[in-house]
Structure 1
Amino acid sequence: MTDLLEQAVLTARNLPAERQDDLARMMLSYAGYDEPVIDLTPEEEADLIEAQAEMERGEFATDAEVEAVLSKFRP
């Protein structure tokens, strides 16, 4: 265990039980306890970074574009 994690655990011990449980759930989730952590390929990571940049720029599909895609999958 690193010194920083040890310090965090010692600090958390002084919190109310409900807060300790909240922290424990966050740590377990972050560590992939309930669901495995997804390892992205370099290409997937680049796609994700670009998608995040598009969102920050406000570049979203129009309603018509969304409808065009969805109509391909409707019976």
Structure 2
Amino acid sequence: MNRILKEMIEHAATWPQEDQEELAEYAREIEARRTGVYTMSDQERAAVARGLAQADRGEFVSDELIAEADKRHEG
């Protein structure tokens, strides 16, 4: 690891958790671009699990709400 990167990582360890998570997200995106494999964060994994549980319970957005959203984003 080059000196600049090593110093940056050491300094980032002193940042607030939210900033450290943001830096980790950027690193995951770079890694995904380089390898073609994206690794979800714990927060993303939890959000997917919540969405799947909602789908299992039949909780979907109504067709009317989707149509309204589509109208707002046209043209």
TM-score, normalising length: structure 1:
0.48
Structure showing greater radius of gyration is 1
* Greater fraction of residues in helix: 2
